[in-house]
């Protein structure tokens, strides 16, 4: 068995008005994803899909994209991206997958998945919000409004996921959609939580385009190695990590 990761598939089979191949570097991207996936991934393998899965606005609109993923080999573990508007409660998503026979798709949300002694943990993450002074974020300025609340909620979801791995005695690997560090911007709240649970590898997507990729953190910083796995950066090739 092997473990792979890929971010930002941006599938649009159910909403053809949202093709990514109008952007440079995304030409023929869905065919490339399928070809590379089938070449590398076997039925016994697992792949984490790190957000921005489908342009569908609802579960029903995303059905064709889920069917596309389900038909590909391997177990798929899915976390939320900022464009996953179809995202719903865990109960509704699991019921939808079960009703449609998508039993190879699994949601990463306030939980973790065991893999060969590792705990696959994660959440969407969020943009950095200035003003936090500790790992729990109690001193965030209320005047900062919605972004501060979302960041605190995402940090809590990451913490719950990492606690689940810790409880099972698993070594955590973190998967996020938003980068914890980008260029000269560091999300201290998320980074501190990663350190609190001994995370040594963090995989993230969200960032697109050559100039943005060049500014992305892809090195080891204070004991954590950050990996950019946005699909256009990986040239639509799932990355094997274990």
- Between residues 227 and 15, the one the model is more confident about: 227
Q: How far apart are CA 123 and CA 175, in angstroms?
A: 7
The CATH number that applies at residue 97 is 3.60.21.10
Percent of the chain scoring above 70 in pLDDT: 91
Q: What is the pLDDT of residue 184?
A: 86
Give the alpha-carbon dihedral of 209, 174, 34, 10, to 10 degrees. -50
Confidence of residue 135 (pLDDT cuts 50, 70, 90): very low
Tokens (6 digits) for 42: 């076997």
Range of the domain at 86: 3-240
Number of domains in the chain: 1
* Residue 175, pLDDT above cutoff 50: yes
Question: With bands split at pLDDT 50, 70 and 90, how would you rate the model's confidence at 37?
Answer: very high
Give, in order, the Cα–Cα distances in Å from 209 to each of 6, 142, 214, 237. 16, 34, 9, 16
Determine the longest span between alpha carbons in the chain, in angstroms. 51
180 DSSP 8-state letter: S
Reading the block at residue 122, the tokens are 């994660």
């Amino acid at each position: 068995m092997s473990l792979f990761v890929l971010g930002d598939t941006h599938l649009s089979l159910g909403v053809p008005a949202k093709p990514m191949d109008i952007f440079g570097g995304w030409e023929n991207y869905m065919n490339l994803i399928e070809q590379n996936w089938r070449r590398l991934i076997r039925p016994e393998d697992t792949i984490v899909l790190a957000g921005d899965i489908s342009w569908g606005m609802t579960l029903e609109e995303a059905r064709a994209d889920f069917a596309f993923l389900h038909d590909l080999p391997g177990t798929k573990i899915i976390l939320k991206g900022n464009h996953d508007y179809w995202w719903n409660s865990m109960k509704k998503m699991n019921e939808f997958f079960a009703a449609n026979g998508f039993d190879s798709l699994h949601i990463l949300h306030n939980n973790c998945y065991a893999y060969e002694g590792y705990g696959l943990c994660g959440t969407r993450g969020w943009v950095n919000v200035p003003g936090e002074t500790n790992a729990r974020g109690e001193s965030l300025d209320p005047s900062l409004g919605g972004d501060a609340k979302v960041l605190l909620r995402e940090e809590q979801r990451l913490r719950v996921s990492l606690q689940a791995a810790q409880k099972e005695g698993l070594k955590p690997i973190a998967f996020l959609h938003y980068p914890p560090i980008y260029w000269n911007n560091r999300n201290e709240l998320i980074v501190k939580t990663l350190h609190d649970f001994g995370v040594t590898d963090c995989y993230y997507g969200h960032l697109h385009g050559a100039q943005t990729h060049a500014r992305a953190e892809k090195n080891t910083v204070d004991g954590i190695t950050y990996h950019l796995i946005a699909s256009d950066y990986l040239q639509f090739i799932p990355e094997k990590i274990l």
